[in-house]
Structure 1
Amino acid sequence: MTKDEALVAQDGDNDILTKLCSQKFLRLSIETNRSQSGDLDWTSLQAQQSVRTLISTIQIKMKPGDSLVTFSSLRVQYIEAADVAALVESLHQLKHLRYLALLETHISVLPGNIGKMKLLQFLDLRGCTKSVNLPDSIVMLSQLQFLYIPNIHMIPRGFRGLTDIRKLIGFPAHMDGDWCSLDELGPLSQLKNLFLNKLENVSAASFAANARLGEKMHLIELFLWCTSRLGDNGLIKENQGVSEEEQ
């Protein structure tokens, strides 16, 4: 039914470039291995200026200067196992994007102006092991509902304003400082799935109480994770932030 609007390239399809050059598509899904995809580069995709859904699980050749500017109609972008660092700075150009998944990519940061993506609802950074912190403007994504950030260490203050969030995976627990702490989870009353990391940073129950988990009537899944203080020898590691009395 969608043959005139969609291109789905899977294993065994060796004619991707020809199809991309001969027709305009609204949806692209390229899930074939690298040897079969040939010399597919970002320039080949940029000709598809009307595309609304882009799904790719292959290595696409990119060079400095490549951007997302031509994809002004994009609503869904799912890229896996590719070096998309060159594209990160132009992410904010995707004004209509609702769904952004950058899985197992080599990005180390998100653009500071990601807050301009006002319609973004889904952000998935699973497998992006080089990513450390989220930009301050992340708190401006008022329509965000799903956030997967298992490798993020710090979240900026103001996170409490994202009251539409339903699923939050990888929230790093902190008590104070310049970053988001557990008490900013208090107003997030729509949460259904919550995974908390680094709970060893919370030294008192009073801080945890500020998250108001007992008031989240929609919560159906809660995962609590503490980094182990034990080494391979079964002894407590040094410099783990515990007092002699706690040991």
Structure 2
Amino acid sequence: MKPLSDVVSRMLFYKRVFNEKGCPQELVQVSKDILKKCGGIPLAIISIASLLANNHEMKTKDQWYALLNSIGRGLTEDCGLEQMKKILLFSYYDLPSYLKPCLLYLSIFPEDHKIMKGKLIWRWISEGLVYSEKQETDLYGLGNNYFNELVNRSMIQPICIDDREDKQACRVHDMVLDLICSLSSEENFVTILDGTGRKMPNLVRRLSIQNSKMDVDISRMAHMRSITIFTNKVVGKLLDISSFQVLRVLDFEGCDISDIGYVGDLLHLRYLGLRYTHVEDLPTEIGKLQFLLTLDLRGTKIKVLPSSVVHLRRLMCLHVDYHMKLPSGISNLVSLEVLGTMMMFDKDLNAVKELGHLTKLRVLQVYYHVDEILDKALMRSLSNLYKLDSLDIYVRGGEINFLSEDWVPPLQLRRLAFSLPSSWFKTLPSWINASSLSLLTYLHIKVVKVSSEAIQLIGMLPALCVLEIMDISKFYEERVVEMSALSSVALFPCATECHFLCIGAVPSMFPRGAAPRLKHLGFTFSAKWITRENIDLCMCHLPSLERVEVKVIKEEASDREVYEAKVVLRAAAEDHPNHPVLDLH
């Protein structure tokens, strides 16, 4: 990658350090000198800027010069890589004590590996890297703060795959990974076996196996706390897992294994990751793991969980697939904070009632078949879950009736999704309003007939970032409902992404000043509308627009009108100062 120009380097540096305030005159020269030593290398610029920006108070001029002098000759000479490492070391040593081990822990993962945020935080908790002496502390929330702090310090690169927490991830820059792998080795924090001839220490604490072609000395692993395997042909051939009696983390995700009968002997286990393995049966002895915090069974061949699972009273995170049958007695899992995905297709009234006892749940995903007997019980159970901040309900069978107009959503609900196309609300529920859902950031919903008033009410949600709404009455007819202009410039204040399916929410629906942060807009457009004299497709008043997705519906239009509609839409996108990407379907 070519070095950045002086102008671009300065813009990147100033934006990170000073935001929109601009550089104070007394720091202009020292900023130039620091940027010169960064040599136009983006990682160096961001790392130094993050170091200077991270404290709550602006560093003094003397502190800026102290940092400048400590960098050395900079990246403008032949020793650029060594100086880059030195710059990164400044960032590492500037980390508070609680963040250093969390960063070193990332050396477990291979180069360019997509590290899922939720998984990482649960592993941090299982290893004791995230802890609090106060019993009622939200450990996941604390771990989330640690993750965000590493992002803000530019030590990790965030990847937003989806709004859901379990779909967010990060990567580690190659040079940062090289540094933390080196530090982890020096401190005997993580042992990496990747086929590069790394020396194995006398005492292995955490083992990351990234290549199966190697010799493994089991005698050095008696006190091993963590095993993560990224390759096959290791378990049962090179490693006797049952001999690692103090193991806390066992992560087999993606490995070709089927037999885990020994896990019942690993009494100290906190994290068991079996996602995308060939495991068909979970041993009854799983109930002996009284310290287990996370159990991930997604993508396995397990159909029924053993009854002993309900004895895991410390379990905080349980990931299952919707086809897996949970045993009766799940109300005993009193520590559970994350449950996905619970199936309720077999009219099990007791299971629905037991769900209401899991009052610590923050994240819930439920598959549910519309049933009059269960409807009221499910609403009562959901009403008890006052800590929920993420709720995904996959409903089969038609109209959603169990969430009546009387339902009061949890105050801190941030995500609400009804994703299956086979379920809908007759009208927009009255509890979807600014006072009941003041923190909601994500909404996915289908309504039989969407009105302009409904869009107006949704637009008043003060924190809403992502919206996906469909008019289900038009979906099967391949038609579109027309929307009139919204009445307030204060609508959609935080929205960054809005998808209106089977809804003609053309850009001119938004008055100037509304949706100031909207980056991605999707809507349906009837080609017949192009014949109207007053059709307005201008999108220049949406200042943040980056992508526009339009499904053009032919309805009664001619091929010529369809062609003209697409031409006009392209011209409207081209007229926008941002030249947003236009996807026409």
Residues 1:170 and 2:341 are matched in the alignment = yes
Match for residue 69 of structure 1 among 242, 250, 254:
242
* Mapped contact 2:249–2:269 kept (Cα < 8 A): yes
**Residue type at the aligned position of 2:393:** L
1:125 is displaced (CA, Å) by 1.3
1:184 is paired with a residue of what secondary structure? helix
Distance (Å, rounded) in 2 between the aligned partners of 1:193 and 1:82: 27
Distance (Å, rounded) in 1 between the aligned partners of 2:217 and 2:353: 44
Match for residue 24 of structure 1 among 203, 207, 210:
203
Match for residue 89 of structure 1 among 261, 276, 280:
261
1:176 is displaced (CA, Å) by 2.7
2:321 is paired with a residue of what secondary structure? coil
**Residue type at the aligned position of 2:339:** L
Unaligned runs of 5+ in 1: 230-247
**1:114-193 equivalence runs, <5 A:** 114-128=286-300, 130-173=301-344, 174-176=346-348, 181-193=351-363
1:15 is displaced (CA, Å) by 2.6
* Mapped contact 1:92–1:116 kept (Cα < 8 A): yes
Change (3 A) 1:63 1:96: closer
Larger RCO (alpha carbons 8 Å, 6+ apart): 1
- Output the TM-score relative to the length of structure 1: 0.76
Change (3 A) 1:225 1:67: farther
Distance (Å, rounded) in 1 between the aligned partners of 2:286 and 2:376: 33
Distance (Å, rounded) in 1 between the aligned partners of 2:235 and 2:208: 18
Change (3 A) 1:194 1:51: same
**1:227-238 equivalence runs, <5 A:** none
Match of 2:164 in 1: none
1:209 is displaced (CA, Å) by 3.1
Residues 1:107 and 2:107 are matched in the alignment = no
2:353 is paired with a residue of what secondary structure? helix
1:106 is paired with a residue of what secondary structure? coil
* Mapped contact 1:134–1:152 kept (Cα < 8 A): no
Distance (Å, rounded) in 1 between the aligned partners of 2:333 and 2:190: 34
Change (3 A) 1:82 1:26: same
1:141 is displaced (CA, Å) by 0.3
1:57 is displaced (CA, Å) by 1.7
Match of 2:432 in 1: none
Distance (Å, rounded) in 1 between the aligned partners of 2:290 and 2:310: 11
Match of 2:379 in 1: 209
1:153 is displaced (CA, Å) by 2.3
Match of 1:54 in 2: 227
Unaligned runs of 5+ in 2: 1-182, 399-585
1:103 is displaced (CA, Å) by 1.6
Query: Which entry has the higher C-alpha Rg, 1 or 2?
Result: 2
Q: Name the % identity.
A: 26
Distance (Å, rounded) in 2 between the aligned partners of 1:110 and 1:117: 13
* Mapped contact 1:119–1:143 kept (Cα < 8 A): yes
Distance (Å, rounded) in 1 between the aligned partners of 2:347 and 2:314: 26
Change (3 A) 1:49 1:215: same
* Mapped contact 2:370–2:397 kept (Cα < 8 A): no
Distance (Å, rounded) in 2 between the aligned partners of 1:220 and 1:132: 28
* Mapped contact 1:99–1:121 kept (Cα < 8 A): yes
Q: Write out per-residue CA displacement over residues 45-87 of structure 1, whole angstroms, 9 at most, x where no aligned residue.
A: 74422210111121134459x753211010111112212223x
Residues 1:194 and 2:364 are matched in the alignment = yes
* Mapped contact 1:5–1:24 kept (Cα < 8 A): no
* Mapped contact 2:340–2:365 kept (Cα < 8 A): yes
1:138 is paired with a residue of what secondary structure? helix
* Mapped contact 1:7–1:28 kept (Cα < 8 A): yes
Number of equivalent positions: 212
* Mapped contact 1:49–1:71 kept (Cα < 8 A): yes
Change (3 A) 1:25 1:152: farther
Q: Write out per-residue CA displacement over residues 149-187 of structure 1, whole angstroms, 9 at most, x where no aligned residue.
A: 02542111111111110010111114338xx62111011
- Output the TM-score relative to the length of structure 2: 0.34
Distance (Å, rounded) in 2 between the aligned partners of 1:29 and 1:72: 18
1:191 is displaced (CA, Å) by 0.6
Match of 1:39 in 2: 213
**Residue type at the aligned position of 2:356:** G
* Mapped contact 1:68–1:93 kept (Cα < 8 A): no
